[in-house]
Amino acid sequence: MQLYSFGSNGHYQLGQNHNRDLDVPTLVDLPYQITRLEPSNLQIRSNGNHTLLLVNNDLYACGDNRHGQCFITNKPKIERFIRIHPTVFAGGVPRLISAGWEFSAVVATDRDGRDRLYCSGIGSRGELGLGENIKTGLIELVRGFPRRGRSIRQIVSGLAHTVVLLDNGELWGWGVSRKGQLGLHAEAQKLLWNPVQIDLKGFHPVKAVCGREFTALIDFEGNVKILFTSKNDRNGILLIPRIESLHSWTDFQSGWSSLHILLPTGKMMSWGNNSHSQLVPHDAPSVQCMAIGSEHTLVWNQSSATVYSWGWGEHGNCGSLDNVTDSNPSRTLTKATRVIQLTPKSSVSVFAGCATSWIAIWNN
C-alpha cells in the first residue's frame, strides 16, 4: 500500500516529517509493515491538527499531541506515523476510530470479545464522555459503555460531540448538545458529560455522520434524519432534498456544514453550505468513492484514473489552485495522476479531514 497526503500541515498532521502545507499529493513514509499489506480494514480520521490511521487493526497516529489526543504520552508533537501499542488498550484490538478537534476515541475489542471505548485528549465541553466536569483524560476507559452484550457498529465525532451507533440500532452521544445535535432532550442541557441514549422516535439508522454542530442519520431506504434545532439554519442543512427511494445508496458523509449521498450509479447528491463550492458541481464525473472533509471533497473516477476535488482548498487540500476560477469549482488533481501513476486498474481509497486530503492506493 502507498499513502499520499496533502493540505494543512502546521502540526505535522500529514505524517510527512515536516510542518509545511502541501498542495501536491506527497508519498507518506509509512512504517515498513504497512507498505507490505493490502489493507482489509483501512480507516483515516483527521480532525483538528492530528490524524489517526487504523490499518488491519493496528493503530498509528501523528500530529498535534499536546493533550494526548494521539494516545501517546510525553510527546507534544509527532512528526510521522508511529504505532500505538495494544497495551494502551489493555491488550484489546483497535477496531474503530474517531477524531474530534483535540480529542480522539478508539473502540477496541478485548480478549472476551467485548467492545471497550477509550478516549484521550482534552474536552472542556464533555467531548471525552468520562463524567461530570472531567475535561482531560490520557487514554481513559469510558466505563460501563457500551453495556455488556452490546457492540459498537460505528463511532463518529464532530468538532465537539461524538455519537455511537450500537449493533441494536440505538444511538448514543456526548459532548456539546446545545443545538440539538444530541437530540431534543439534551438541547437545554447544552453539554453532556456521559454517554446518553438519543431518542430517535422510531427512526432506524444504519449510518450516522457528524457535522460541525449537527448530526445526520440515514436508514436502509435512504431516508435522512437531521439532529439540529438551531433557529438559524443558514447553511440549509434542514432543507433535505426530495430523495426518491434509495434502497441501494452507497455512501453517506458529512462536512462541517454540508451533506452528501453517493448512489450506485456513481452520482452524488449534496446539500448545505456552498459558500466555497463544497457541493457537488453539475459537471462532476461519475465516481466510485468519495471523501468529505471539513469544507472540501475528494472523489475517485476509475475510468479516467483521476482523483478530483472541489471546495475550500486554501491549505492545498484541493491540490494546486493555480488557474482555477470560481466559475469552475471542480478542481482536477492532474498532478496527483502524474505523481501517483494511477491506472483504471488501480485500487484507490480517498479520505479527507480538517483541510487534509489522503489517497491510498495498491496496484493490482
Of residues 319 and 294, the one with the higher pLDDT is 294
- Checking if the pLDDT of 322 tops 80, the result is no
The answer to whether the CB of 356 falls within 8 A of the CB of 296 is no
Mean pLDDT value across residues 291-301: 95
- Checking if the pLDDT of 330 tops 50, the result is no
pLDDT for 107: 98
- Cα–Cα distances in Å, from 2 out to 34, 57, 121, 323, 348? 9, 17, 29, 29, 10
For residue 364, name the pLDDT band (cuts at 50, 70, 90): low
- Checking if the pLDDT of 327 tops 50, the result is no
Q: What is the pLDDT of residues 97-109, one digit of tens each?
A: 999 999 999 999 9
Of residues 329 and 259, the one with the higher pLDDT is 259
pLDDT for 60: 97
pLDDT for 174: 98
Percentage of the chain modeled with pLDDT above 90: 80
- Checking if the pLDDT of 228 tops 80, the result is yes
pLDDT for 245: 61
pLDDT for 323: 53
Sheet of 136-141, strands arranged across: 93-99, 103-109, 115-122, 136-141
- Checking if the pLDDT of 293 tops 80, the result is yes
CATH class, domain 41-297+309-318, is: mainly beta
pLDDT for 328: 47
Q: What is the pLDDT of residues 185-210, one digit of tens each?
A: 899 999 999 999 999 999 999 999 99
The answer to whether the CB of 223 falls within 8 A of the CB of 201 is no
For residue 38, name the pLDDT band (cuts at 50, 70, 90): confident
Of residues 230 and 278, the one with the higher pLDDT is 278
Residue that the C-alpha cell 453550505 belongs to: 273
Percentage of the chain modeled with pLDDT above 70: 93
The answer to whether the CB of 61 falls within 8 A of the CB of 48 is no
For residue 246, name the pLDDT band (cuts at 50, 70, 90): low
pLDDT for 335: 39
DSSP state of 338: H
pLDDT for 150: 97
pLDDT for 326: 47
For residue 244, name the pLDDT band (cuts at 50, 70, 90): low
Mean residue pLDDT across the chain = 92
pLDDT for 32: 80
The answer to whether the CB of 158 falls within 8 A of the CB of 164 is no
* Phi, psi of 295, rounded to the nearest 5 degrees: -145, 30
Mean pLDDT value across residues 290-313: 93
Which cell numbers hold the place of 287? Answer: 465516481
